[in-house]
Amino acid sequence: MRKLMIKCVSHKKVYLNLDIAEEALIGARTRFDYGNQSGPVGVYQCEDCGYYHLTSQGAMSNNLAGYLSSNKFKLEKEAQQWLDKLKRK
């Protein structure tokens, strides 16, 4: 089976819809420590490919801001830190 690969002139990773992009955004914030001043903060629809990309420019999306201040995020983050520790052994 051929994997569907959509390429964009921006060379950014393409997400097929807004939900998938928001999920990827939240997943990235969970997996990596960006701190407050860096990392992706939102998603946008691209004028070139018509699909969605993550962006580190502009205001943080409401979805992401809500998630980052939620308990779920803290728990996911702790779980991820444990996984990282286990991997390092």
**Residues found near Zn ion in the complex (CB under 5 A):** 8, 10, 46, 48-49
Find the residue with minimal CB distance to Zn ion: 46
3-class DSSP state for residue 38? coil
Of 8 and 24, CB closest to Zn ion: 8
**For residue 63, with 0-12 CB atoms within 10 Å meaning exposed, 13-18 middle and 19 or more buried, which class applies?**
middle
Q: Least distance from C-beta 6 to Zn ion, angstroms?
A: 8
The minimum distance between CB 26 and Zn ion, in angstroms, equals 20
Residue 30's alpha-carbon distances to 26, 43, 45, 83, in angstroms, are 6, 16, 22, 12
Please report how close the Cβ of residue 52 comes to Zn ion at its closest, in angstroms. Answer: 8
